[in-house]
Amino acid sequence: MIDRYSHPEMAGIWTLENKYRIWLDVEIAVCDAWNRRKVIPDEDLKAIKEKADFNVTEILEIESRVHHDVIAFLTNVRDQIGPAGRWIHYGMTSSDVGDTALCMQLVQSADLLLGRLDALLEVVKGLAQKYRNQPMVGRTHGIHGEPTTLGLKFAHFYAELMRDRDRLQQARKQIAVGKLSGAVGTFSNINPDLEEEVCQALGLEAEPVATQVINRDRHAFFASVCGIIAGGLDRMANEIRLLQKSEGREVEEPFAKGQKGSSAMPHKRNPVVCERICGLARVVQSNVQVAYRDMPLWHERDISHSSAERVILPDICIGLDYILERMIFVLSGLHVYPENMERTLNVTRGLIYSQRLMLTLIDAGMLRDDA
């Protein structure tokens, strides 16, 4: 995601620095487990923990020659450690560290997104309570239907966001897994008990059955949930955009002092933040389709998913984080115009009460078609 639509904390999760830091955490956790099994001597483990580090620039330079990012990383780390570095990556394959670390990045992202959702829920709940008795016209197909309240609109959003929160918690649980089952997933050099021990130390569950990789249904589910949340934010932003139209101006997103709406029409107060939310929701949702296409890998693995995931997973998480924060901003400073809502209620001169009148006539004995 471009810097313009990124917040530092979420973007930081998806930097090379953080990715390699997690890779190193995984590698050291495995070394710890081997040490407890008397495979790695105490003095070598001590050297690993004291000296293990990496340099992103050097890794990229090595990768430009070997064309393999994990090998480049391991080479750089071993250079920092010295002779004891031979134990780094012992019994493992590239996806053991890469897939486990990727899941940890997604867990970190999920935690940030859950925090954003909680903050948004509080704002929406407050608006639902504040405007529970504020009448306005309800519309179906864009046409005036019957009276509703602004508070009820926000209650709808609140209920949907609560479902979003439940779904995201489920997605976090499903993605919080690791695997150390080695090449083709047969535990040929690492025992399942070591995998479980390491995963537990990293705050993960061990993947019950893996190939050489963690199956991508987990990643697709995570992406799907993010797409659903983005769709809900799109709906909320669209509602504000429609209610801000000049014909009604029932609500309005914040407009800062000195802010400009148009280079040609200085009177314009456009819902640009809501429009940005709608646009970026499309970006998030379009990437979900790619996550679905990453599921059918060849046999025990290929890396057709890898290039796609390096683009879509950061963009999904960073993009969703951004539009969640922007929706909090919009709703926290939302302008509400009760007088315009009440004026709009009367635009059809009472036609919005037609159902009540029809039922009264039916109660009096008239046929529905005649009423």
Q: Which residues are catalytic?
A: 141, 262
Backbone dihedral angles phi then psi of residue 9, each to the nearest 5 degrees: -65, -45
Q: Name residue, tokens 């602004």.
A: 150
Q: 251-252 and 335-336: which strand pairing?
A: antiparallel
Taking every pair of Cα atoms in the chain, the longest distance, rounded to a whole number of angstroms, is: 97
Backbone dihedral region for residue 203 (phi beyond 0: left; psi -120 to 50: alpha; all else: beta): left
**What's at 179, amino acid-wise?**
K
Q: What is the dihedral of CA 97, 103, 109, 114, to 10 degrees?
A: -150
What distance in Å separates the CA atoms of residue 313 and residue 106, rounded to the nearest whole number? 8
Nearest one of 354, 224, 202 to 288, comparing CA atoms = 224
Do 30 and 48 contact (CB within 8 A), yes or no? Answer: no
Q: 177-178 and 205-206: which strand pairing?
A: parallel
What SS3 state is found at 148?
strand
* Inter-residue long-range contacts of 54-61, CB under 8 Å, 24+ positions, other chains counted: 54/20, 54/24, 54/80, 56/16, 56/17, 56/20, 59/16, 59/20, 60/16
Do 206 and 195 contact (CB within 8 A), yes or no? Answer: yes
> In angstroms, what CA-CA distances link 177 with 69, 184, 208?
22, 17, 9
